[in-house]
């Protein structure tokens, strides 16, 4: 059969219900009876790639489960420099695995959502040369919360969520690393092409470079301006803000952190954690899909990092900030995300 190893039926059944036709004969559980050999090559390469990279399950027998075994069963299509097999070998041989992206960058789904109604209670100040939202609690608990926004920046929903943390007793400071240039100024939603000159990828690159350089300076300014010797810090980030949460958790400033529907993460963000992390996630989210989430949990568990996973079905990326509050379930999920994060901070900062 073109030199492709057969998969043992026990292993095939353990992965997915399949079409017991051409796909099984060609060693690929995702192929169909009418698929051409070329398409089956492609599907099989993709299947082996996922097995190697994410380790779905070890086979009972009859299927390669190590790099050496996989190399021993390669074929001419695998030797093509553009194949997933070859790309995987290059990754595993030439690149530090901890530096690979396994959480996708912000994408079109980050442009979805609804604007929430309400009046923000905080004020804006300039800190480290960056406009900063300050949410002041009526009943302060003495702690400071650093807020890292999603691509919508300082929009009404973000201000209201910061006010929610302030209502829980935290002095909240939110950094506008987009400098008054949030994505909604260019696109109202993912289908909005009213500004044909807007380059979303260039926009992300520009603001990521600024944030990478200036977040540490801003955090230092927060500590100098608002902190006291006994002050404890927490941090929270949404989407674009997730890496900055992990960066802070790898240092000595914050006591605990949290993110919701993250983007732009790499494995080293989880390996390097020194402080507890709360993950508020959607079951279906292209920026933090199931294999990525499982890999993150593998790292956290193997490295014995303190964490909590909050996982919601029936919602998508943006649920914690941009859900439709007219929908009872989306409102519930948004509120539970906020509540879970607050309780996480309350516990760890009380220790």
3-state secondary structure of 153: coil
DSSP output for 22-87? HHHHTT-TT--TT--HHHHHHHHHHHHHHHHHH-----SSSS--SHHHHHHT--TTTTSTTSHHHH
235 is catalytic: no
b/e map 38-70, b = 16+ CB within 10 Å = eebbbbbbebbbebbbeeeeebeeebbeeeeeb
**Residues linked to residue 278 through DSSP beta bridges, in sequence order:** 258, 308
Q: Is 246 tagged catalytic?
A: no
Find tokens 């790292």 and name the residue. 299
Give the angle subtended at the CA of 122 by the CAs of 128 and 157, to the nearest 5°. Answer: 100
From the list 28, 235, 239, 281, the catalytic residue is: 239
CA distance 276 to 53: 26
* 255 φ/ψ sector (left φ>0, alpha ψ -120 to 50, else beta): alpha
Tell me how crowded residue 324 is: count the other CB atoms within 10 A of its CB: 15
Known catalytic residue at 109: no
Active site residues: 239, 285, 317
């Amino acid at each position: 059969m073109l030199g492709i190893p057969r998969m043992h039926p026990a292993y095939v059944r353990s992965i997915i219900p399949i079409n017991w036709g051409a796909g099984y004969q060609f060693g690929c559980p995702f192929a169909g009876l009418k698929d051409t050999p070329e398409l089956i090559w492609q599907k099989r390469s993709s299947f082996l790639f996922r097995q190697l990279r994410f380790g779905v399950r070890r086979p009972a027998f009859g299927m390669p489960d190590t790099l050496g075994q996989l190399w021993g069963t390669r074929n001419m299509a695998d030797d093509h420099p553009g194949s997933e097999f070859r790309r995987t070998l290059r990754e595993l041989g030439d690149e530090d695995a901890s530096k690979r992206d396994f959480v996708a960058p912000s994408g079109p789904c980050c442009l979805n959502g609804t604007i929430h109604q309400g009046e923000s209670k905080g004020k804006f100040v300039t800190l480290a040369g960056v406009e900063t939202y300050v949410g002041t609690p009526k009943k302060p608990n003495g702690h400071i919360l650093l807020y890292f926004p999603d691509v919508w920046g300082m929009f009404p929903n973000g201000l209201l969520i910061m006010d929610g943390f302030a209502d829980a007793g935290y002095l909240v400071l939110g950094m506008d690393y987009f400098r008054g240039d949030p994505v909604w100024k260019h696109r109202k939603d993912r289908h909005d092409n009213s500004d044909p000159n807007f380059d979303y990828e260039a926009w992300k690159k520009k603001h990521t470079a600024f944030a990478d350089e200036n977040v540490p300076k801003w955090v230092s300014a927060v500590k100098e301006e608002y902190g006291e010797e006994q002050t404890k810090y927490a941090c929270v980030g949404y989407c674009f803000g997730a890496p900055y949460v992990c960066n802070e958790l790898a240092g000595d400033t914050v006591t605990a952190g949290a993110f919701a529907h993250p983007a732009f993460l790499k494995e080293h963000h989880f390996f390097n954690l020194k402080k507890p992390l709360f993950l508020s996630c959607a079951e279906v989210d292209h920026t933090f899909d199931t294999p990525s989430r499982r890999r993150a949990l593998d790292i956290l568990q193997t490295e014995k990092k303190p964490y909590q996973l909050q996982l919601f079905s029936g919602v998508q990326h943006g649920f914690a900030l941009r859900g439709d509050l007219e929908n009872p379930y989306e409102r519930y999920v948004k509120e539970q995300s906020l509540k879970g994060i607050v309780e996480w901070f309350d516990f760890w900062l009380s220790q």
